[in-house]
Amino acid sequence: MKEGPDIALLGSLIGDPARANMLMALMAGKALTATELAAEAGVTVQTASSHLSKLEHAQLISPRKQGRHKYFTLSNEDVGDFLENMLGLAAKQGYMRTRTGPKDEDLRRARVCYDHLAGELGVKAYDSLLKHRYLLEVNGDLRLTASGKAFFDKLGIDTMPMKALRRPLCKACLDWSARRSHLAGSLGTALIDKIFENGWAKRRENSRIVTFTREGEKKFSRLFS
CB 18 within 8 A of CB 29: no
Give the separation between CA 23 and CA 16, rounded to whole angstroms: 11
- pLDDT at 100 (0 to 100): 44
Q: Where are the domains of the chain?
A: 7-75, 97-223
**Model pTM?**
0.71
The residue among 220, 200, 186, 208 whose CA lies nearest residue 87 is 208
- pLDDT at 193 (0 to 100): 96
Q: How many other C-beta atoms are found inside a 10 Å radius of the C-beta of residue 3?
A: 5
- pLDDT at 67 (0 to 100): 77
- pLDDT at 176 (0 to 100): 80
Q: How many other C-beta atoms are found inside a 10 Å radius of the C-beta of residue 200?
A: 18
- pLDDT at 119 (0 to 100): 93
Fold of 7-75: Arc Repressor Mutant, subunit A (1.10.10)
- pLDDT at 196 (0 to 100): 97
CB 135 within 8 A of CB 143: yes
- pLDDT at 130 (0 to 100): 96
Give the separation between CA 206 and CA 158, rounded to whole angstroms: 30
Question: Phi and psi for 150 in degrees, rounded to 5?
Answer: -65, -40
- pLDDT at 101 (0 to 100): 45
- pLDDT at 98 (0 to 100): 54
CB 54 within 8 A of CB 63: no
Q: How far is CA 104 from the centre of its chain?
A: 17
Instruction: Going residue by residue through the chain, which has 225 residues, state the pLDDT in tens, using 9 for 90 and above.
Output: 567 788 888 888 888 999 999 998 898 888 899 999 998 888 898 999 999 999 999 999 999 888 788 899 999 888 988 888 888 778 777 777 654 444 678 988 999 988 899 999 999 999 999 999 999 988 878 999 999 999 999 999 999 998 888 888 999 988 888 878 899 999 999 999 999 999 999 999 878 899 999 999 999 999 998
